[in-house]
Structure formats: C-alpha cells, structure tokens
Chains A and B, each alone.
Chain A
Amino acid sequence: AQKITQTQPGMFVQEKEAVTLDCTYDTSDQSYGLFWYKQPSSGEMIFLIYQGSYDEQNATEGRYSLNFQKARKSANLVISASQLGDSAMYFCAMREGQTSYDKVIFGPGTSLSVIP
C-alpha cells in the first residue's frame, strides 16, 4: 500500500506567484517525520524542509513553508514568490520508526515548471 501520495504529477506556476504542492501520507506510528526534497534535472536531491509529528507549529524555511494538518495526514509544501530555478521534481517523504527501525519512503513526486 502506498504510504505517500502526491496527486499532482505536473504543475505550472507563473514566476513570482505562490504554489502549493500536495502530499498526503499514511502511518500508524505516533512518531514520524515529513520531508520535502527538490530534485533538479541534474539529479541531486536537495533537502528543503522538515516537519515532525509532534511539532505544533508549521515549519518554514525561507520561501518554503509546510502546511501540516495532522488529522488529515496532509503535509503540503507552499513555495512563495516562485523563481525560474524552482523548476524541478519535488518529492514528499516520510521517515518513521524507532531506534531499531529507520526507513524513509518517498512519494511519486510532482514536476513543477515555473513560467516566465
């Protein structure tokens, strides 16, 4: 069963506009972490933002913010003031487990294209 769902295979956004990338997840663990990564065409995975399951505040990192709705098991990424360099694949990922179990699962990804 897929644990991470990203329902938008591809998205377009106008430069300088904000965009929301959707992510829903499924876990029975109480302790887990949610991550967003960016993968440009060069292939390198770049860490963007993290939200812990016990964090009460939504995470923010510069132009990136995470809209965390725990009851809905949703962790959407919001990119404000899009730039051309934001064009890339974006992966939502979940890390769950205790000390003897450490696994990271990635969603299928969303391809974002920023239009000048």
Chain B
Amino acid sequence: DTEVTQTPKHLVMGMTNKKSLKCEQHMGHRAMYWYKQKAKKPPELMFVYSYEKLSINESVPSRFSPECPNSSLLNLHLHALQPEDSALYLCASSQEPFGAGGSYEQYFGPGTRLTVT
C-alpha cells in the first residue's frame, strides 16, 4: 500500500471558521510534510515532521497549526484564514528524512482544495 489519503477533498470555509485537514499513511513512513500549492505554481513547503516531531516550520502564519498525533496521522488546523490562503494543500510522506541516507522519495496525497470566503 503506497497510498497517502487526505480528507476532505474540498473545503469551503469563512474567515471566522475553524476547520482541520487530515492526512493519513500506513506505510510506516517517519517523515510527513504539508505543502501549499497555488494554481500554476510549484508546491511550497509549510511544515515537516520527522519521527512525529516538528522539524521544519517555514515561517508559516500561526493561523495554520500542524499536529502529528501519531506516526500515521498528520493534521493541519485552520483558524481565521484569509482569502489568499485559498489553495491546494498537499500532504506527503517519505520513509525517512533525507539525511537518513537513502533516496526516500515523497509520496503525495491527492490534496485538499481549500476556498476561503
């Protein structure tokens, strides 16, 4: 099973709402990632979790709050978002963080298309 699942597929939320995005993998991967992707642009790294600990936060605004409850699950909690936060949010996982010595390509989920109204 090389699948990363993400729910929901689509999300529309108002600027005062609180919502969460969920990502799950059952491949035993120890590194998980959140990316934001605007139309016709490359994915931008937001957060990296290595061995369930936050290892990279790319200066993401605090209205985005990641959480890794266990090694298979990654959440992204959203609060007081702005319309410019509308994008495709991609989750990815890899067997190990890169420095562990292998290629460890990332497996991506299908993404959540978020619209903030």
Contact = CB atoms under 8 A, between A and B. Distances in A.
Contact of B90 (A35, A45, A99): A45
Interface string A45-56: 111001010000
Interface string A11-48: 00000000000000000000101010100001111110
Nearest to A33: B103
Given A50-B105, A104-B45, A45 B99 contact: no
A46 B90 CA distance: 12
B111 A102 contact: no
Contacts, number: 71
A109 B42 CA distance: 7
Contacts of B109: 44
Interface residues of B, number: 29
B43 A97 contact: no
Contacts of A99: 97, 99-100
A104 B33 contact: yes
Contacts of A91: 42-43
Interface in B65-111: 88, 90, 92, 97-100, 103-111
B99 A47 contact: no
B47 to A, nearest CB: 11
Contacts of A101: 55-56, 99
B23 interface: no
A45 B43 contact: yes
A44 B106 contact: no
B107 A47 contact: yes
B42 A108 contact: yes
Interface of B: 31, 33, 40-45, 48, 50, 55-56, 88, 90, 92, 97-100, 103-111, 113
